[in-house]
Structure 1
Amino acid sequence: MRRWPLIAFGITLLGALSGAAAYQQAGPRQGEQRTWREIAWPFPRDGWPAGKAFRCDGCGSDVAISVRPKIGFCNCDRGVADDDEVDRVADVDLMSEHFVPLAPGEVVRVADMVGRIRTYELPPAAGARHAVGIAVSRRCDLLVAVAHGNGDASEIRRAALAFLATSEMTRWTMAAMDGR
């Protein structure tokens, strides 16, 4: 009779140790395994200063994003008003001139700025299957981002928006828009 409490304690202890070992060996959850690292600006020089570019380790579809301000380049009254403007300014053309919109764009908010987001299909020579163009404005200034990857367009979009919403990127975005 005295063995049963000892056996029950041993089984409980063994279960707890197994659970702790499994927890320590388990990988991070889906949202936690994304790690963004800064990379060199991937596009040739043009009339706008280079911004920042990042690649996501753990996004599952080789997602990269490039972000930069275009100071003084936005319609001061309307901001980013339509999809044609996103197509023109979001730097998707730097990946390929032959991008094809997949659907109408949508209103999006990045930091304290409002604009539009649109997804595109890219030709095989572009090195990525899909791109997401983002253009948001504040006063007469524009912030553009293009994210691209070989996975599902909606996953690229989610990863890009989650990255742009991080406190580090929000601080950088606001400083860049203020010319610092």
Structure 2
Amino acid sequence: MRRWPIVAFVTLALGILSGAAAYQQADPRQDQRHAEWHEIAWPFPRDGWPAGRAFRCRGASCGDGIEIYVRPKLGFCNCDRGVADDEEVDRVADLDLLSERFTPIQAGDVISVADMPGRSRAYDLKVTDGARHAAIGIAVSRRCDLLVAVAHGKGDAMRVRRMALQLLGENEMTRWMKAAIEGQ
């Protein structure tokens, strides 16, 4: 008779511990999965600016995949105004590296990336195989220097924008962007 409370307690404790372990090891729900960003080689030929960093997202939240390309353009910004308007984003954000055929979807937004003010703008992009992608051009500045990014993927432009800004907001990327804009 005295053993049954001990057996019941041990059984309950093991059940709770195994349930907690299973909960911690379970896959997150679809809306809680993190993007899986992987750095890839800079895919573009050399031009007047240094190569930057390129990433591809293949996580569940990325849908069919998103790519982003980020690089500094030192000494290329209006020192007084920074990135002042959408036309400047159109001109500097490296969209032309992806395709010459891009069309703005709407007016851009004021943003801040790594404590640098600037703008982002959504585009409809027609890539070389004729497929349509959503693209986001991002240009932010510090003093007379720019940091530009362009992200593209199939599907919704706002999702591409959200995913790109999420990557750019990560601590490692913020540190790299600040160092790159300082020329280090």
| TM-score above 0.5, yes or no | yes
Q: In structure 1, what is the equivalent of residue 46 of structure 2?
A: 45
Determine if contact 1:108/1:117 at 8 Å carries over to the other structure: yes
Q: 1:88 to 1:96 in 2, by over 3 A?
A: same
* Equivalent residue for 1:93, pick from 72, 96, 99: 96
Which amino acid letter does the alignment assign opposite residue 173 of structure 1?
Answer: M
The aligned length equals 180
Unaligned runs of 5+ in 2: none
Whichever residue aligns with residue 179 of structure 2, its letter is: A
1:41-79 deviation line (CA, Å, top 9, x unaligned): 122221111101111231323011100000010011111
Shift of 1:174: 0.7
Instruction: Tell me what 1:20 maps to.
Output: 20
Aligned to 1:63: 66
Identity %: 64
Aligned to 1:77: 80
State the alpha-carbon separation in 1 of the partners of residues 26 and 54 from structure 2: 30
Q: Residue 96 of structure 1 contacts residue 126 of structure 1 at CA under 8 Å; is this kept in 2?
A: no
Supply the distance in 2 between the matched residues of 1:99 and 1:36 (Cα, whole angstroms).
25
Q: Distance in 2 between matches of 1:70 and 1:36?
A: 23
- After TM superposition, the score normalised by the length of structure 1 is 0.87
Q: In the alignment, which residue of structure 1 is the partner of 2:155?
A: 151
Aligned to 1:133: 137
- Give the alignment's Cα RMSD to 1 decimal: 2.4
**TM-score for the superposition, normalised by structure 2:** 0.85
Rounded Cα–Cα distance in structure 1 between residues aligned with 2:28 and 2:84 = 40
Task: Please tell me whether the aligned partners of residues 43 and 94 of structure 1 are also in contact (alpha carbons under 8 angstroms).
Answer: yes
Q: Distance in 1 between matches of 2:102 and 2:87?
A: 13
Pair 1:166 & 2:167 matched: no
CA deviations 1:90-142 (Å, max 9, x no partner) are 01111111111111001000012101000111125366611110000111101
Aligned residues of 1:90 and 1:135 also touching (Cα < 8 A): yes
- Whether the 8 Å CA contact 1:134–1:144 is kept in 2: the answer is yes
Aligned-partner SS, 1:159? helix
Task: Structure 1: give runs of 5+ residues left out of the alignment.
Answer: none
CA distance in 2: counterparts of 1:76 and 1:17, whole angstroms: 60
Partners of 1:67 and 1:143 within 8 A in 2: yes
**How far apart, CA to CA, are the structure 1 residues paired with 2:166 and 2:25?**
26
